[in-house]
Every structure is written in structure tokens, then in C-alpha cells.
Amino acid sequence: MTPDEQQPISTGTQPHIIIVGAGIAGMILAILLDKAGVPYTLLEKASRIKALGSAISFGPTVIPLFRQIGIFEEFEAIALPFSSIRSHDGEGNLAFTADFEPRTEMGGARTYIVARPKIYDILYNKIPKEKVLLNKRVLSVTEDDRCVRIECADGTFYEGDILVGADGAYSAVRQSIFKQLKKENKLPLTDDTAMPYNCVCLVGQTQVLDEEEFSVVGSSDCKFNNYISRTEPYFWVIFNTKQKTICWTVIQILNETSSKDLQESGNKGSEWGPEAAGAMAETVRHFRVPNGENHEPKTLGDLIDKTDKELISKVSLEEKVFESWYSSRTVLIGDACHKTNPAGGLGAQIAVHDAICVANWINALPSNTSEDIQHAFKNYKEERYPYALAAYKNSSRMITGNENTIVGMIIRLIRYYMPTWLWLRALKRTILYRPQVSFLPKVDDKGSVLPIDPPSFVKTKYMLEKMGRNPSSQEPSSAASSSPMIEE
């Protein structure tokens, strides 16, 4: 659209939403807004929806939402159930096994591993294509009391009542609003510093493999194996998918000096791009990978050789939880406001939770005034910030626990000797927050541990009922609380 043909802002009680970024968070939010009948436009800077990275994990804290929006059966068909992590040293000797199966009974759903491109396909197919605009790289964002306005690199402009920045760790939306907040002396000092690098990650997913050569791909569940080098600053993760492929990830842990050197070099992480992957791939080819007792031993090089080069990515990884999550009419979700290391396995999960919370508040807005919008954003951050911070701390501990250091060894010993009762208590804390949207019928939760009904559900459901919009006819569970326990 030219400046004279801008996307119209809403003229009724419902706001028009502009979502920037068609990743997990952006697409989930688009689906939820579509279900709620809230008008929106989804802008994506790429020329096509493409998922880089290998695979992601979803379990009891996300499955209720998948059931609500009607994608669980499709999801289950492309995913493998996952119940444990087997940790080894770099020579392949088993150190300990972390058993996650009790979460199934506690949370009422299994945990699954799914190839990232497959879940992207499911989500993208649920979004009306006329609402998705590709090749839309955001250059600037301006806001006033009436609307928010976006300028894209192709010369087009878009206006809406609310802008949601779901555009990842290097969010253009975040950079634009931070620039304005800094001019107004409202940007916290911690938000004005670069995200520190702590790892370099090489990730890929093989072609479909023959189980006669790679025995693990014939398994009916996901075999998740973690390896920690005794002599080098690396650990690597190997697991199989429903599609008979193997996902692999190698993480190089940076020390203070190498992290500083990378930051000073101006490296921007390549956003999961394939640049410079070849050199690192050569460095790690000799690392061992599992292949069953009666099969020829394999190395990471064997998997690299079976992986299409465009599906191998190298990225520098940062971790940071920002303090500023919103401005006047703009709000950030997912990696745009809290970037966690993928070693913790929580990034996609908390991004989905952000989308649920924001969708609940947007759908229940009493008006499109800046005051009501900012009140909704404030409630969103108050609910989600503690969980994002807990995920950040958890992923940081995961990295430290995989380091070849004294501290890393102590953490691994604690894991190995942890009493069962304490482990079960820790698992329970991970499944208490199982959010659903307040504007769709609430699905039955079959977990033995009652879920917390978060404020964004309880409050917005009440608001919708007061407005006569009759969301779900079911009542929140008896465990409803505005002060949920946070996993730390």
C-alpha cells in the first residue's frame, strides 16, 4: 500500500491489529484473533514462511490450547512422544537419565517433539492467506493517541489500533519503540545495552534416514540424548522425529573473553541463517552420536553428511529479558521481549503463552483508547514477566550444567543424586501454568494436578460476561489464582 492507501484502522469497538513476524508466536496470535473475530493483518519480512532450526517441544502447558483451537490431532500426527533425557559424556558413557514421564499424569497430556517446519505448516494453513503479507520488512513505527503507523522497506505503510511485535530476537519493532522511549528518557538502562552472547549454536535436521543404518529412526517415541565433552567447550543433542529424520544441535559455550570478542565484532547472530556453518561443522564432525547396541557407531559427521546444506544453520545465541514490553499502542511477545537459550527448551512454549495472554486482553478491550490498551498491556506484562524470567534462569542453568567446569560438574551431581520426591516436586512446578483463551469453550483438563487459571483468563472471562459476549459456558477450575507459582 502507498501512503495514500493505508490499512484502515478500526471504526467499531474491535481494534484492528497489526502483527509483525510470522513465527510461532505471531501465527498462534493470528489464529486466536481469527477465532475471536478480531480483525488483523500479519506482516512477515521473508518472501515465504520458512522455519529454520530443527525441532521444538510442546507438552501439557500448551496442549490445552492446541485442543481449544482444533489442531491437536494434526499436531499429534506429526510429533513423537518424549519422556526422558539421557545425558552422556563425550565418549558416550551414560551419566544419568532425567525422567519426565510423571508430567503426563500431572498435566493430563504427553510431551512431544515436533519438527519445526511441520508445526509451521499446520499453523500457517489455519490463517487466511489474504491476511498474510510477505516481503514486509519494518523500517519505522510511529504512534499517537489515535493509531500506530508502520513504514515498510518496500515503501508501503500500514495503520492499526494495536501493533504486536512478534519479530524475534532482533525485533525491528522493539528497536523502533526503544528508540522513541530513549528520546523520551523512558528507556531503562538495562534495555539500552546489547544482549550478551553466551553460546554459538550449529543446528540441522537430516534427510529421511534408513533405520537399518540409523536404528533410532525406527523408534515409536523420541530418543533424546545429550552429550557433554570432557575436554572441549561443547555439548550436543541428538533426537529422532516422526518423519524418520534426526535433529542435531551442537552448542559451543563461550567464555567471557570469547563472548566479548563476538559482541565487539558486530555479529548479529544471523537469525538462524546458514552463513559460516561450514567451518564449525568441520570442527565438530568427530563427535559421537548414538546408534544402538547392534549397529555401527556413528559420528556427528555422518549426520551432517545426511543433512541438506540449506537446513544447517549457525547462530550466535544471546539471553536477555527486557524490561520494556510495550509503549503506547505497541506490545512485544516471544523472543522480541525475552530471548532464552534453546538449551532450556522453553522458548516456543513461553511464546505461545504470550500469545494466549495478549489475545485474551485484546479480545476483552472495552474500547480502543490508548488508556484501555495500555492497561491491557500492563496486565499482560505483569502476568508473563515472572514466567519469562524463570525460563531465562532455567535455560542459563541448563547451559551452566553442561559446562566442563567445577560448577557444571556439581550441577550434574545434584541432578544425579536428587531424591525422587524432590524431582517430582520440580516437575509439578513446570505444569501448573496451562493457560487457555477465555473466548472459546474451555477444554477439560485431565491432569491430576489442578492447573492455575491465570489472571488473563479469569479477568477477561468476567469482562466478556459483563459485556454480554458469552465466552465459554464452563467455569474456571477451583485452583484459580492470581498469584501463580513460578518455576525458577
* pLDDT tens by residue, the chain, 488 residues: 444 444 444 445 679 999 999 999 999 999 999 999 999 999 999 999 887 667 999 999 999 999 999 999 999 999 999 999 999 988 888 988 999 999 999 999 999 999 999 999 999 999 999 999 999 999 999 999 999 999 999 999 999 999 999 999 899 999 999 999 999 999 999 999 877 788 888 999 999 999 989 999 999 999 999 999 988 899 999 999 999 999 999 999 887 766 666 665 655 554 555 556 888 899 999 998 877 776 778 999 999 999 998 888 888 878 899 999 999 999 999 999 999 887 778 899 999 999 999 999 999 999 999 999 999 999 999 999 999 999 999 888 888 888 878 888 888 888 888 999 999 999 999 999 999 999 999 999 999 999 999 999 999 999 999 988 866 544 433 333 333 334 33
Residue 338 phi, psi dihedral angles, 5° rounding? -150, 110
C-alpha R_g of the chain: 22
Residue 240 · residue 219 · CB < 8 Å: yes
Q: Report pLDDT for 46.
A: 93
* Distance from C-alpha of 428 to C-alpha of 231, rounded to nearest angstrom: 35
CA distances from 299 to 121, 198, 239, 281, 305 (A): 31, 25, 14, 12, 10
Q: Report pLDDT for 11.
A: 42
Q: Which positions ≥6 away from 227 have C-beta within 8 Å?
A: 87, 88, 89, 90, 92, 235, 236, 237, 238, 287, 288, 289
Q: Report pLDDT for 396.
A: 84
End-to-end Cα distance, the chain = 46
Residue 307 · residue 207 · CB < 8 Å: yes
Residue 88 · residue 469 · CB < 8 Å: no
CA distances from 319 to 277, 316, 341, 342, 399 (A): 21, 10, 6, 10, 11
Q: How many CB atoms lie within 10 A of CB 271?
A: 14
Q: Report pLDDT for 62.
A: 98
Q: Report pLDDT for 265.
A: 60
Q: Report pLDDT for 405.
A: 81
Q: Report pLDDT for 408.
A: 83
Q: Report pLDDT for 231.
A: 87
Residue 424 · residue 102 · CB < 8 Å: yes
Alpha helices in 165-321 (DSSP H): 172-183, 256-264, 277-283, 300-305
> By CB neighbour count within 10 A (0-12 exposed, 13-18 middle, 19+ buried), where does 389 fall?
middle
Q: Report pLDDT for 482.
A: 37
Q: Report pLDDT for 258.
A: 67
